[in-house]
Structure formats: C-alpha cells, structure tokens
Chain A
C-alpha cells in the first residue's frame, strides 16, 4: 500500500478553482518534489493535504496510509503523521518554544495512545535536534518564532519536524528567503530525517534546493494540474529552460480551462 494516494483532487479557495485534478502516489521512503510557476497551485496542494479549512475540496480522494485524509481535521492529519513545514511560520507570543513543541509532541502521543513525555525526558532529545540544526539553546526560552529571523523561523520548522517525526513531511517553499548557509543547514536537517518509513514532498519554485536534497521524483504543476513527471534531471531542465515552454505545452493540451 502506498503512503499517500491522491486521485483526481480538485480544490477551490474563495470560489476559485486552484487544483484541477491532481493524481499523485507517494510511497514510504521516497522524496518527491513539486515544482511550478507562481500561482500554479503548489502551496494550495500543501495546505489541502494538511487540511487547512480555508481550502474547499470539491472532488477527488486522498488516502493516507489507507485512511480518508480529506475527512480529517488538521490536528487529526497531524497526529496521523502529516507534517507541514510552513512557508510563513506564525508567531505565538508568550508561549515558549520548548513548551510548545513538547505540547505538540504530547498531543500526538496521546492521540496514538502513548504516554506523555515529561520535561526531563524531552529536554535531551530537544537539545540534540537543536545541535543538528545549529540552533542556539537560548531559543528554548524564547516565544515561538517571536523575534526570529527568516532563517531561524525556517530552521525552527525543521527542528519541529525532527522532534515530531512525521510519516509524511511536506516542505512548503522552505528554501525561500534563505541564504546559502541557512539553506545548507536546513538541508542537513532534512537529509538526516530521510528514512525508509518516511516520505517527503518538497514544494519549491527553484531547483537550487534540490542540489542539497536529493529527490527521487519531480512533478511539474501548471494551472492546477501535474503536466509532467520525471526524475531529478527534469528539475535541471527547468532550471535551464524556465517554465515558459512547459506552460505553453500545457495550454495546448488543455485549452478549455477557464
């Protein structure tokens, strides 16, 4: 059984259809990349899969581990193992980073019927992951994302991923706004998370990130549809030729789209 099976997925936001029939299958252990021009629906796909309610699914089916993902609330999807690394991480003033992450971990453990982790057991694990992402321990006492630089916020997303150990990690434009050093550190964190049990879906506009995170498959999203799939060489081709030619091709094959 595949980990994620998307069939004919359509979704709208505020009445506009953004996803117009997505089919995609991801198996455990694989890394898939979704590339595409701005406005093609990449982020929408990431948000729909993590069950954000501002996006309405109008048709299609998504099975996650054989379960109906579209019937789940965001927290249920999260507890089942879907993790979204946000493009724009949110600030939560007054709530400490470590406290927040332990609460999240415990909410998931509770959902799975496991014992909660107390602060004493949590801290060593947290420290180890901080080290992996080359983050300062002082961040532990600071509020979630408050006063973090853009790079620190993105690293914090990967830190959360490392602690929560999801089955499917969706990285939404994690490379945007990162300088080359931060990109290297984030990629190191992501690569450390690769395992035969875990799949990743890397949403990105640029091929650059894929120099650091080896991808198994690349899918090109244009106007809400996957118009081409291939291996890592497809990303290089896009980097060289841009998105124009593939958009033109897509328009020819589906002229009726409004």
Chain B
C-alpha cells in the first residue's frame, strides 16, 4: 500500500519544462495603477479616443471596487492579498514598429516560441493552424493572416483590430463581459494590453484552426489580455489557446477576458490548454489565473462550445460560460482540471438559458493529486421565457493519494416548469487495486496512473481538435509525473 502511495506522490514532482526565461530588452512602464498609467497604456498603443474613455470608465469602476474591498472572496481558494500597486501593467519586447514579416522579429523571440514547440515560421507550422503569438503585453506575430483574409476572416492582434477595424471593436467590445461584470473583468478592461481578435463574416467556415499562444516572460508583470471572437450569421470557427510562463518564486497575475459572439446559425468552438507555471512542489510561486470567459449565443440556432484542459497555474479561477439568448441555441462546456502539489482550482461554468428550446451540456472532470484542491462550481439558470430548455450536467472527481481534495458546488435555478434538467456526479479514487491490475499486466506505475487518468478524461479529450488531443494527453502525464514513484 505504502509503495503505491509513494508512487502516487512522486508522480507529482516533475520539473516544469517550460520554465525558462528569454533574455530580451523590454519596454516597461513604472509599477502601479492609476489613471495616468491607463493613459500611458492607451497612448503606447496609439488608441483612438473611444478606447481611452472605455478604459478610464473601467478603471474608475475598478478603483471604487478596490476601495470597497470588493475583490471576490467566495471562491474556494486561498491566497495572500494581491498588491495591485506592485505590478507592472505594461511590458513589451523592444522591437521596430510595424514589422512587415517574421524576418524582422527579434530572433530571441522566435527561438522562444520554437523552444515551446510553437514555430512561427509558416512553412514549419502545423498545416491548417494559424497562430497569434502574445509575448508579455503584446502580440508579436500572427501567422497565415493573408491566407485567412482571402476568405474574409480577420485574425489579428487586438491592438491591430483597434486600429484597422474600430467599428467592429466598438460594436462588440464589452458586449458580453461588460467592465462592470466583476472585479477582475474591470481591472482587465482598464489595463488590457493585447490579445487576439477574430471576425468570421457571414456564411464563412474558417478554413483553418486559429490559435493564440500566450507567453509571460518579464518578471513582476501581470498579463492582461483580451480576446474577442465574432462569428457572423452562418459562420463557424474553431479556436485554441495555449499558455506557459517561466519559473519564478513570486506569484504573477494573469487576468484575461474572453468574449465570444455567435449570431444566427453561427458556431464557435473554443479550446484551451492552460499550462501556466503552477508553482513548485511546496506551493511557492506560480501564476494566479483569474479569468472571465463568456460567450453569447445571440442568434437563433447558434452554438458555443468551450473545452478546457487546465493543468497549470497556482490558482485557477475561471468559469467559461454561455448566454443562450437565441432560440434553439446550444452551449457546451467540457473541462479537465488537474491540481497537483499545492495547486488550487475553482472552475466550472454558467449556462444562462433565455431563448426557447435552448440546450446545454456540462462535462467536468476534476483530478486532484498531491495537496491539490479542486472545486467544480457551476450554475444552470433557466429563465422564465426559456420554455423547453434542457441541461445535462456531469461532474466527476478523481482523487490520487490521500492529501488532496475535491469539492462540487452545482447551482440550479429554474424559472420555467417545462425545463428538463439532469445532473450526475461521482467521486472516485485511483485505487491500489486498479494500479496493481495494470502493473500485473506489465505497465509501470507511472504509465498505469497516466492510463487511468486519460481514461477518466476521455469524454473531454475527444472534444479537442485532433492535433491537440494528443498534446493534452501528454501534458496531463507530465503534470502528473512525480505523483507516483
């Protein structure tokens, strides 16, 4: 018995191999946050007046929340208070303005992405995947832009969208997650520095996977990016984001906002493989991942599907949600969240049913190892007008070892009696008997745990785009290594 527990424990203690720092000159502003800082950020990005005003409004709202000590405390996570005046809100690698091609990009940055397995040179890339690379506060490169624009798809950095497509930005920015939504959303709206922007025009199926790779590099900075994806009537797009950061003893804040808008008959599939630095095995350092993600099925028959594989971060606080406004619209949430060592995750979703015959599916798989704490928090709300609404929720927890925890908080609010709700939940433990069975068939303990965990997550992995499902499986094995010895 003890051997298997030791085995399980040591699987958790593997090195984080994405933890290197790129030595590069950066342009950063002083620490702290006030109106002046917001103005500096806006000026650095050469933004039109409407953006500055939007930011200032958000800043003032955030400052009032800060003063009222309204930072949310309801999540099932513990951390020391964050000193928002001790963070650098803008840091960008120094580079020539207006890069014409990747050849002009700092070779150190190119090498960084290659080391991360994300080569930016188009000929080397996975065929059929376009990448926007965000390095600290700015987008450094976006690939396949020309090819995408042939079919009218706009895929660029948020900064570029503000310059080139201000009318779209103005129309949709904050339309799903307003700056008043919550503390971190307000903070993000005030200081967000970059992110990705996608617009898929009427009737267009985006011909390739789009993805953004977020990399935090500079110390003492926060990363605040904003992603906005709009699928016009009958359009469809599949988008994937990935993220890593260097190993540091200090915690770093990542407070992003993602907004999705799907009009009539449009479909958006949004997948995340989150692998921020999780802290060391004693819980020192790591990213605070406080993220607001929401999609609006604005049109009839639209569909938004979230798939997330969360293996990194010291603390994860995120609830990718769907507002099902259009009749017959569909919302989906598939999640694997792994907490190992001293990681904490409070994650789940909200499905808000407004339209008629709307349906939602929630499949959440939480894995806790080491001293990890894993919380599923979900809300399904059926509003008065949402006749014929349906929800299916399944949340399963898997415990590895005897020091970790799994928690579930499902909220259900039904205001229409025609709703059909299903909820299933389970908690299981990787048993000594399962491990022994696989070992008796010749598998090493580590491979046995990895096989059991992959089996547990299968329902979610099969929702990921093919190329990434394999990656996610590998990542999960690596994140678990050391939890079995």
Contact = CB atoms under 8 A, between A and B. Distances in A.
A107 B433 CA distance: 19
Nearest to A13: B1
A53 B454 CA distance: 24
A89 B440 contact: no
Interface in B1-54: 1-4
Contacts of B439: 73-75, 78
Nearest to A145: B437
Contacts of B443: 75, 103-104, 107
Interface string A90-101: 101111000011
A12 interface: no
A35 interface: no
Contact of B437 (A77, A90, A94, A111): A90
B432 A78 contact: no
A104 B447 CA distance: 10
Interface size class of chain A, counting residues whose CB lies under 8 Å from the partner chain: 20 to 34
A89 B445 CA distance: 18
Contacts of B438: 92, 104
A34 interface: no
Nearest to B433: A90
B434 A90 contact: yes
Q: Which of A78, A83, A105, A164 has the most CB of B within 10 A?
A: A78
Contacts of A108: 442
Interface in B154-203: none
A191 interface: no
A50 interface: yes
Contacts of A88: 433
A47 to B, nearest CB: 9
Interface of B is mostly: helix
Contact of A107 (B431, B434, B442, B457): B442
Interface string B438-453: 1111111101000110
Contact of B444 (A75, A77, A100, A160): A75
A131 interface: no
Contacts of A78: 439-442
A100 to B, nearest CB: 8
A94 B1 contact: no
B361 interface: no
Contact of B459 (A89, A94, A101): A94
B455 interface: yes
Contacts of A67: none
B3 A53 contact: yes
A147 to B, nearest CB: 14
Contact of A74 (B434, B440, B447, B457): B440
Q: Which of A75, A79, A92, A103 has the most CB of B within 10 A?
A: A75
Contacts of A103: 443, 447, 451
A172 B220 CA distance: 60
B458 interface: yes
A106 to B, nearest CB: 9
Contacts of A143: 455
Nearest to A88: B433
B456 interface: yes
A84 B442 contact: no
A75 B445 contact: yes
Interface of B: 1-4, 431-434, 436-445, 447, 451-452, 454-459
Interface of A: 50, 52-54, 73-75, 77-79, 83-84, 86, 88-90, 92-95, 100-101, 103-105, 107-108, 111, 143, 160, 164
29 contacts: A50-B440, A53-B1, A53-B2, A54-B1, A74-B440, A75-B442, A75-B444, A78-B440, A83-B440, A86-B437, A86-B440, A90-B433, A92-B434, A92-B438, A92-B455, A93-B455, A93-B456, A94-B455, A94-B456, A94-B459, A95-B451, A95-B454, A95-B455, A103-B447, A103-B451, A104-B442, A104-B443, A107-B441, A107-B443
| A-B pairs, 5 with minimum CB distance | A94-B455, A104-B441, A94-B458, A74-B439, A107-B442
